Structure formats: structure tokens, C-alpha cells
Structure 1
């Protein structure tokens, strides 16, 4: 009788423990699914940003950059189940740093949401080590490399010293600031009224003669000059300060 009594009590206790465990198990698995979905979102979004940064770095011609990515998920992400397929992330038209936002979709489960991230980028770029005014020619001593934190406004960034040295300032350059391509131009070698040397080369023939510039121009430009020997007006292209070549 005593044994049967304790056997019944122990059986009841085991049943209760089993029932409690069975009730808690689905909740544990469910919470784990939500945690996996959150991790999947952060990992996929981070990989997307890193890929876009690598593409931008290559296009910009930068040897190296440093970056941090801080992903912020909306509160509703905690209620999502992990997507069994790869997440679909929309592309962006802006630079992949600063405040980045993309739509992320799980097509198989039919959910989507917007995810934001704060992406900070620093790059080793050429800067002016002194203020340079419009019209100044840039020399090697005017430029040095510095690590700068970039902003989404730093589009069309100059990333190599060779893009600056020998060129002319078209918009004032501030000291130790990132430089855009719109702030510099090809050097203005010839101005209207300048006396120039006209060089002519063709089939081993070479000659030079004096001329007068009727237009201003620099590297890559075509200008008109008057040949002071013959009085003819010809089209030439500047090759250096005070020197032009004929267009044969």
C-alpha cells in the first residue's frame, strides 16, 4: 500500500514536469527562431554594405579605407521568423556611407521591412596643406595625404595626387579638406594676347614660329592663334606655358 502510494505520487510529479516542459519547449524554439531572424537580418545587411563599399572604393581608386557599420533593426524584426531563402535587399543611389537605409524582403514568407545603418568611412586622400585660391597652379609641395572621415557629400572625390599636381584651382581649396574634381581644372597655359611659340611636326619635318593667341586654353583644348610670320589664323593645341602645336 505504501509503495503504491509513493508510486502514484512520483508518477504524478513526473507527469507534471513532462507537461511543463512540453509547454515551455515551443516557446523556447519560437524565441530561437526570432533570434535567428534578427541575426540573419544584421548579417545580410552588413554584407551588403561591405560589398557596396568595396565597389565604391574600387571605382574611386582608393587603395585602402577604414569603416564601421552600426545596423539598427526596427522593433518588429523581433517577431519575424528566419527566412529560409536569401534575403532580397534593395539597391541605393547614394554613396554607401553616412545614414544608409534599404528595404529587406523575405519573398518566401512574404514579409519586408526597412533597415537603417550608420556607416562611417575614413580614407587616405590628398589634401591641400595650405589654402589655395582660384587660379593658382598646384605643385607637389602643396599636397599631402591625410586620413579623413568622409560624408555622403564627398561625391566625385579626388583620390590621387596625380589628379592635382600641375592642375589649376577653379574653386578655392581649404586646408586639409577633401577635394572634389569640380574644384580643379586643367592648367590654363595660354591666355588671349599671349605671344606663343608655334611648333609644327610632320613626316620628320620640324619648325617653330612666333604666334599670338586669339583664345585662352589649357591641356586638351583647341585654340586659335595668328601666325605672326604669315599672318594666317590656325588652330593649335597648348602643350605647355607659351607653347602650342599645330593640328596636322
Structure 2
């Protein structure tokens, strides 16, 4: 059996919807007697997808999402007794995009089944306005904002402009296509000549001191740094913008 639902502009309205739903729980409990098992699964799966997409929207600092989802509850669910409590739905990995399948269970009655959903999301994100080849450094002029329809392969998107500009392309970026993290190099947290904070940790000991970067680098790359107090040049590893750490 197929259930189709459509909602637009997921954002603050979702929070209001969830609050309103919680306020109506007593009424919903009374209405549960007339609810079918298929309707219960459809409703609770819809709420879970809405919650997961709203969490991602907030984490990615996106203004809104336009979402279309098609819930497919197996016809065998009609023969199952209504779960007296909320059903248990397995958590997914990453953003629920494209074809989604989750295990839905009722511990109280001992039944379970797999439910599928087809989820498409359109969102305004930064994209390249030209093909960016491997080895190029991305400039602000290379980026436009476009409403893009996302697919199942777009789960590691880079949605913040400051996480794109200045990065180096390690895999070709196509024009007006979502930019994925694997297509970009690690962020350049330290540049040559930067004043940095050197952090040193060992067996519960912690100290920090001022330094000067003699090389530039990102996460995981050892660079030469001069300790401004002692003048000694050491190898340290960028851990954040303007901060490096020594390794013992």
C-alpha cells in the first residue's frame, strides 16, 4: 500500500508542528482506537523522517527544505494488530534521502516489518558556476546559490560558503551540482606566517604557548612551527584555525 504526503518549507514550522502534536497527545490517544495499523506506521514513520530532516536542516544552517516523500507500507501490515504503544523504528545512517528503508517493530505484540519511503529534497545551497578541475583553489567568484534537488548520493554535502572558498579541489566538481566533502581538500587551518597557539599535552599535563607557522597546512599534516618563547622550531599538527598541537 502506498501513502503519499507532501510538505514544503521545513523550518520553524516543523518545530511548531511537533509542539502542537505533543499538545494533542491526549486527543490522539483517544483517537488511536479508530486508527489502523497501517495508519499508525505511516504516521510515526512520517514524524521520524520530519524530525531527522529538521535536525539536518539546523546542523547545516539551511533556511528551509522543500520535501516530497512517498511512504510504502507493506500490505501485510493490515493483518497486524494495532500497537498499543508507539512503534519502534530503527535509526538510519545519515540524511534520509532517496530510497529509505527502516525496520518497524512493536515490542508489545512481537511483530516487525520493513517499511520503505522515497524521499526527495530540494534546497538552496552553494554550487560551482563552472566546472572545477582537480588542483584548483575555489574562489568566491566560482560559487553561486541555486535550488538543487538532492539524491541519495548527496549525504556528505558542504553547505557553508566558508567551508568551500579557499579549499582545493581533489575530485572534479561539476557545474551546478551539489558539492560533496570528498571533492575538497581538508581546510587550510594555518598559513605561512600565521601567529598560532601551540598546545602540548602529555599524561595529564597541558600547556600552551605562542608560535609562528613556518608552513601552511590542514588537519593531519605536520608543519614546522617556531616557538616564540624559546625560538625552537618544532613539528606540530593543525587542530583548528590558528591552533596546532604537538604529538609525543
TM-score band w.r.t. shorter chain = 0.5 to 0.7
In structure 2, how many angstroms separate the alpha carbons of the residues matched to 1:199 and 1:129? 31
In structure 2, how many angstroms separate the alpha carbons of the residues matched to 1:147 and 1:64? 11
In structure 2, how many angstroms separate the alpha carbons of the residues matched to 1:123 and 1:70? 18
In structure 2, how many angstroms separate the alpha carbons of the residues matched to 1:224 and 1:33? 69
User: What is the aligned partner in structure 2 of residue 10 from structure 1?
Assistant: none
In structure 2, how many angstroms separate the alpha carbons of the residues matched to 1:116 and 1:200? 53
Is residue 94–residue 155 contact of structure 2 (8 Å, CA) maintained in 1? no
Instruction: Indicate the SS of the match to 2:76.
Output: helix
After superposition, the Cα gap between the structure-2 partners of 1:135 and 1:36, relative to the gap in structure 1 and judged at 3 Å, is: same
In structure 1, how many angstroms separate the alpha carbons of the residues matched to 2:82 and 2:51? 22
User: What is the aligned partner in structure 1 of residue 121 from structure 2?
Assistant: 121
Is residue 60–residue 160 contact of structure 2 (8 Å, CA) maintained in 1? no
Extract unaligned runs of 5+ from structure 2: 1-31, 197-213, 226-230, 237-244
Based on CA coordinates, which of the two structures has the bigger radius of gyration? 1
Q: Could you list the structure 1 runs, at least 4 aligned residues long, displaced by more than 3 angstroms after superposition.
A: 32-35, 186-190, 198-201, 216-225, 232-237
Cα root mean square deviation, aligned: 3.5
In structure 2, how many angstroms separate the alpha carbons of the residues matched to 1:188 and 1:94? 26
Is residue 222–residue 236 contact of structure 1 (8 Å, CA) maintained in 2? yes
User: What is the aligned partner in structure 2 of residue 95 from structure 1?
Assistant: 95
Confirm or deny that 1:175 pairs with 2:171: no
User: Which is strand-richer, 1 or 2?
Assistant: 2
Deviation at 1:188, TM superposition (A): 11
Q: Give a deviation string over 1:150-201, Cα, whole Å, max 9, x none.
A: 12222321101111122222222111111112222346998xxxxx8x6889
Is residue 224–residue 236 contact of structure 1 (8 Å, CA) maintained in 2? yes
Q: How does 1:89-168 map to 2 (within 5 A)?
A: 89-168=89-168
After superposition, the Cα gap between the structure-2 partners of 1:112 and 1:189, relative to the gap in structure 1 and judged at 3 Å, is: closer
User: What is the aligned partner in structure 1 of residue 85 from structure 2?
Assistant: 85
